[in-house]
Amino acid sequence: MLQAIHDKAKGWVAYAIIGFISIPFALWGINSYFGGGGPVVAAVVNGEEIPAREVQVQLTQIRRQFGNFAANMDENMLKNMALDAVINRSLLRQKTSEQAYKASIAAIQASIASDPSFQVDGRFDPAQYSLFLRRQGYSEAQFERIMLDNATLQQFQAGLNATGFVTKKEAELYQSLQNQQRELELFTLKAADFESEVNITAEQVMAYYNENKAQFMTEEKAKLAYIDIEQEKLAAGIELNDELLQNYFEENADRYTKPPSRNVSHIVINVDNPAQDEQAKAQVETLYQAINAGEKTFEQVAKESSQDTLSAEQGGLVGEVVAGEWDPEFEKAVFSLAQGVVSEPVKTGVGYEIIRVNSITEATQIPYAEVKDRVEDDYRRAQADKLFYDKVDQVQTLAYEQSGDLTPAANVAGLSIQETDWLSRNQGEGIASNPKVREAAFSDEVMGGRNSELVELGDTHVVVVRQIDRQVPEQRPLDEVRDSIVASLRNQEARKLAEEKGKALLEQARQSDLSSAVQAAGKDSAAIKKTGKIGRSGSKLEAAVLETAFAMPQPAAGQASWDGVVLPNGDYTVMALLSVDNGNTAVTASDLARFSSQLTTREVSAVLEAMREQAEIERFPENI
């Protein structure tokens, strides 16, 4: 749930967590900070307070990862998953601080500049970045601090990766077990076949009804009134004219320019490892002196010696270079050179380069006519964004201050009040098909006659709801539920019989063989299933059968190992393990890398488990 309005929880930001608690770089929502008190705390880890907004970021990411399945998952379970992940992050952050891991702020700034979320037409756009920060309520320094933490955590994981190795012998044993195949015979007694043998009395039905009355209540239902704020719909209603767009273009002229560029040629001597550095440096210096002395032209040296084969064929020609797209040292040299000047050797990310600027093109304004469609999109987006957040602010404030009615909030924001049909805790239509709306509908505050908090249905889509009608749960009469009780009791007894008969059949089979035991029990031995050789995956056997099959001891020659298992539907399967073939033990380099990666994941889990056991952790899931 979003935070109570008087807590004014700040909006979402991008967080990145290592390994199995990974979060993508750019992720945002709309629960912006609209003034008010400090952040609500979701947990305290060794004295460090964890803001609820950080957990909301993780919760949203979990919902997105599960996609449509999230709607059918328990909301409290999802919240606890998110809270656990953020607690893990805090513990790892504390660990990296203790062990003095550090990351470069310059690298973080470069990462932000290169992220597509903050770019327009492939270039970093300060306005786009500022809009993101404004939505989240963060300063530039605060956001960079968050990303710096993320990079430090990645260093910590890299350290664990270095220790997560597996010997070839261990890998071969693991490979053998993983590729092992087993051959079985199976016979299943179906619980449904025993239902005809079960007699359910009226007394049993009455007793079950009285002992389980909570199962036989009508479903609680509610009708809601709600205010719906969706940016897409607001954008569609924005009126435009050419004068507005022309003014917007002029006010934001720097967004509609062609950036300065340099037409560049270069000569490259690669440095693939530190041992090559001195040799490469000496080689490039010799090439530079040859050009500088006029012994050879730049183009001749490029064709003969440059290790960038593509540009070498063109005499070293790279083409147009725009800032923000190349190696920082390369760009620094390019944009400091005058036209026609050949640089001294420059150390870059690929090695050493000699650079020449062939021509210079300064930044130029793009004519309005060429970018009119883009200006219209930008203007509509900017206006819709402002309109959306203004209305969210108005509705959020008045829905809280006048919590007994939605009308004041709707009137001030110029929005209509809509109504839902009947909905339950588990089902609804329209906006009530969203589980967050149903959760809000039956929250304590809404059940108490107050307006809900903001309920986020999407990045730019929120509603505020209140209950306008309710159907309380009522006890269903026995006659209405009698048949379902009889069916449930009959199934329970049939499952017991299937297990009882199955265990007896198993013992009989141990003394003879499966076919004889099945026939002695009056069953059809033709129903015995022969699996052939099966592996740990890829078969169509029940999971419980497969798990039991690979836990059974290897049989002696000419004999069988025996076991039985109750299936989830109550059936009972008698199992005879006939043979075990160990799998291929050959291990490739990629296998070793995969096993090492799996070991690293387990080590991360072990480190986290140890830290959690030693940490002082307070959890406040009710604040999420």
Count of the separate structural domains present in the chain: 4
Instruction: Among 307, 341, 362, identify where a domain stops.
Output: 362
Residue 399 lies in a domain: yes
d(CA 531, CA 549): 11
Q: Are residues 618 and 531 in the same domain?
A: no
Look-up of token digits 């923000």: 324
Residue 348 lies in a domain: yes
Nearest CA to 347 out of 271, 293, 264 is that of 271
Q: Are residues 154 and 205 in the same domain?
A: no
Residue 81 lies in a domain: yes
Q: Are residues 401 and 427 in the same domain?
A: yes
Residue 342 has what DSSP assignment? B
Higher pLDDT, 144 or 519: 519
From residue 314, alpha-carbon distances to 23, 144, 321, 340, 352 in Å are: 43, 41, 16, 17, 19
Nearest CA to 89 out of 620, 599, 615, 456 is that of 615
Q: What does the pLDDT read at residue 494? A: 97
d(CA 558, CA 248): 87
Q: Are residues 495 and 552 in the same domain?
A: yes
d(CA 55, CA 85): 8
Residue 591 lies in a domain: no
From residue 296, alpha-carbon distances to 254, 292, 608 in Å are: 43, 8, 62
Higher pLDDT, 541 or 152: 541
- 3 state SS of 164: coil
d(CA 182, CA 583): 10
Q: Are residues 411 and 443 in the same domain?
A: yes
- Report pLDDT digits (tens) over 123-181: 887 777 777 776 655 556 657 767 877 787 777 767 766 665 677 787 778 778 888 99
Residue type, 480: E
Beta-carbon-side half-sphere exposure of residue 388 (alpha carbons within 13 Å): 25
* Residue percentage of the chain with pLDDT more than 90: 51
Residue 352 has what DSSP assignment? E
Q: Are residues 549 and 487 in the same domain?
A: yes
Residue 398 lies in a domain: yes
Residue type, 423: L
Band (27; pLDDT cuts 50, 70, 90): very low
Instruction: Among 414, 439, 471, identify where a domain stops.
Output: 471
Band (601; pLDDT cuts 50, 70, 90): confident
- Report pLDDT digits (tens) over 483-514: 999 999 999 999 999 999 999 999 999 999 99
Radius of gyration of the chain (CA): 34
**Phi first, then psi: what are they for 212, rounded to 5°?**
-130, 40
Q: What does the pLDDT read at residue 173? A: 81
Average pLDDT in the chain: 85
Q: Is the pTM value of this prediction over 0.85?
A: no
Q: Are residues 459 and 542 in the same domain?
A: no
- 3 state SS of 583: coil
Q: What does the pLDDT read at residue 313? A: 87
Mean pLDDT of 194-199: 95
Instruction: Among 471, 502, 533, identify where a domain stops.
Output: 471
d(CA 221, CA 428): 10
Pair of tokens at residue 557? 């020659």
Nearest CA to 447 out of 431, 470, 426 is that of 470
Q: Are residues 387 and 433 in the same domain?
A: yes
Higher pLDDT, 101 or 428: 428
Mean pLDDT of 582-606: 78
What is the crossing angle of helices 52-66 and 75-98, to 10°? 120
pLDDT at 570 over 90: yes
Q: Are residues 348 and 432 in the same domain?
A: no
Q: Residue 74 burial by CB count (10 A; 0-12/13-18/19+): exposed, middle or buried?
A: exposed
* Residue percentage of the chain with pLDDT more than 70: 90
Look-up of token digits 């640089």: 343
Domain that holds residue 455: 221-242+372-471
Residue type, 125: D
Residue 146 lies in a domain: yes
d(CA 88, CA 65): 19
Nearest CA to 374 out of 108, 125, 2, 25 is that of 125
Q: Are residues 22 and 156 in the same domain?
A: yes
Beta-carbon-side half-sphere exposure of residue 594 (alpha carbons within 13 Å): 9
Look-up of token digits 């499952």: 495
Residue type, 144: E
Look-up of token digits 């601090």: 145
Residue 601 lies in a domain: no
Lowest mean pLDDT among 132-146, 320-334, 423-437, 560-574: 132-146
Contacts 24+ apart (CB under 8 A), 72-78: 75/435, 75/436, 75/439, 76/621
Q: Are residues 445 and 522 in the same domain?
A: no
CB 54 within 8 A of CB 8: no
- Report pLDDT digits (tens) over 54-73: 888 778 778 878 877 777 78
pLDDT at 191 over 70: yes
Q: Residue 123 burial by CB count (10 A; 0-12/13-18/19+): exposed, middle or buried?
A: middle
CB 136 within 8 A of CB 12: yes
Residue 253 lies in a domain: no
- The CATH code of the domain that includes 309 is 3.10.50.40
CB 125 within 8 A of CB 382: no
Q: Are residues 381 and 494 in the same domain?
A: no
As a 3-state breakdown, the chain gives helix, strand, coil percent values, each rounded to 5, of 50, 20, 30
Encode 358-384 in three state secondary structure. EEEECCEECCHHHHHHHHHHHHHHHHH
